[in-house]
Chains A and B, each alone.
Chain A
């Protein structure tokens, strides 16, 4: 069982959700985040006062999948999020020990 954390451009998130659900993944969590990376920020000017805005808005998607489906999920995310320009985001894959469904207290891959 692996947790995938994908940080992507905000506009890509609907495509990713649709493609993942269509492929049979049952759920995910997203959050609005800000980050700084190789994609530089921009400058804003208000009545002559200049601000360098480094942190840009991104969406972070978290999804936990069975080991054998990690590659599939990652390729779906990449397919939807990739524009080829700096700022497309990053994907991290982390081990997940277990998963528990609160309603029934089931555990393991069946929960995902």
Chain B
């Protein structure tokens, strides 16, 4: 990190390699479109390199995701929703990297179906609620980090997370009829 701050591009690129996964996935889940997520990811690392002097302390990942969330909000403000199917193509080509190894074909199909429904439910949320859910539940930030990334108070983060999860539950119940733990 210290070398990166001093302008060492090789050191910074090591950070890129380390964190491009979380940044790209947050952009992809927010925007539901691979090409746009790529553009945003690249822009995030360019911005991060330029602004590295302003990074003080705390989680570098949370700092990157803050820039990512802001960039995604900018993109979402500018465009209409019309490209949600593209995320499925990305999952299809990149493979399922979730924890469970070697599922049977039936399990795999079922899991893919659930994931598709979850992503559709996420797309129904407002931008603020979606970011809160993705930062905490997908990226694993703690509440304080997520609140700072969104530029809101802890209470506001809790409220948005609660409403986002609650609305997700309603959407999933509406499409699946039941929610099994």
A and B assemble together: no
